Amino acid sequence: MEECNDNISFFKEGLRLDSRRPDELRPIKIEAGVLARADGSCYIEMGGNKVIAAVYGPREVHPRHLQEVTRAIVRYRYNMASFSVEERKRPGPDRRSHEISKVSREALEPVILTSYFPRSVIDVFVEVLQADAGTRTAGINAASVALADAGIPMKSMISACAAGKVGDTLVLDPMKEEDNFGQADMPVAMTPNGDITLLQMDGRFTKDEFSQALEMAMKGCREIYELQRKCLIGKYAQLETEPFLEVQVCD
């Protein structure tokens, strides 16, 4: 987050640079089961973000000393492709990707029933193909769908989005320009019941703004949850109703 730039006008006739209302999410597209060789997977587009998540497991832990006797461990690797951003990113892990991997794992772990799979590991890989601010929340949304797609038992889904502040106005789901030149950014992840599993903040809110921004982010999470649910129901309903292939045997 850079210092607020007063020269930038973030609004025109009450609408944002991309014509959204302040409390509107960017367009979202979610697809489950996109990778044949993963146990579960999901592709998500949230505005300009394009992110893919792959889940493997529960499977044997390597190295073995990481095994937990009473539960599965969860590993989460967030990676930003070098071509995903305007200024080419140096490939490989860095401080930012370690931090995002850690907080994203912690956002998902509370709902995963890890005690069902002692001595095993559930691996979540998140690859950012195109970034436009909000990649950690897009990654968490995709990972949550991919975990469900892998059949991992969970107490609930996790949905995530950010609220921010630009030009002294609170906005839902900031895009890159708003994230870069705005005054605050607050990614949130939560269960459909409103239990918060991730809350980070960059920049400054007053106490009232914080409450309003949190409510705004939670509203966004509820909308995203409906899309995640629809995507999974759509996929599995389709499998159930898909007619058996009729094979014609010719003499």
Minimum gap (Å) between residue 134 Cβ and ligand UDP: 5
Minimum gap (Å) between residue 85 Cβ and ligand UDP: 3
Residues 125-144, interacting with ligand UDP (CB under 6 A): 131-136
- Nearer to ligand UDP by Cβ, of 138 and 147: the residue is 138
Minimum gap (Å) between residue 158 Cβ and ligand UDP: 15
Decide: is 88 part of the binding site for ligand UDP (CB under 6 A).
no
Minimum gap (Å) between residue 23 Cβ and ligand UDP: 19
Minimum gap (Å) between residue 80 Cβ and ligand UDP: 6
Residues 50-79, interacting with ligand UDP (CB under 6 A): none
Residues contacting ligand UDP: total by CB under 6 A: 12
Decide: is 89 part of the binding site for ligand UDP (CB under 6 A).
yes
Minimum gap (Å) between residue 230 Cβ and ligand UDP: 24
Decide: is 214 part of the binding site for ligand UDP (CB under 6 A).
no
- Nearer to ligand UDP by Cβ, of 132 and 149: the residue is 132
Decide: is 179 part of the binding site for ligand UDP (CB under 6 A).
yes
Decide: is 96 part of the binding site for ligand UDP (CB under 6 A).
yes
Decide: is 85 part of the binding site for ligand UDP (CB under 6 A).
yes
Q: At what angle do helices 207-241 and 135-149 cross, to 10 degrees?
A: 30
Question: DSSP characters for the chain?
Answer: -PPP-TTS--EETTEETTS--TT-PPPEEEEE---TTSSEEEEEEETTEEEEEEEEEEEE-SSGGG--SSS-EEEEEEEE-TTSSSS-PPSS--HHHHHHHHHHHHHHGGGB-GGGSTTEEEEEEEEEEE-SS-HHHHHHHHHHHHHHHTT--BSS--EEEEEEEETTEEEES--HHHHHHSSEEEEEEE-TT--EEEE--EE---HHHHHHHHHHHHHHHHHHHHHHHHHHHHHHHHHHHPPPPPPPPP-
Decide: is 150 part of the binding site for ligand UDP (CB under 6 A).
no
Write the CA distances from 126 to 78, 161, 190, 213, integer angstroms. 5, 16, 19, 27
- Nearer to ligand UDP by Cβ, of 98 and 230: the residue is 98
- Residues forming contacts to ligand UDP in the complex (CB under 6 A) are 85-86, 89, 96, 131-136, 176, 179
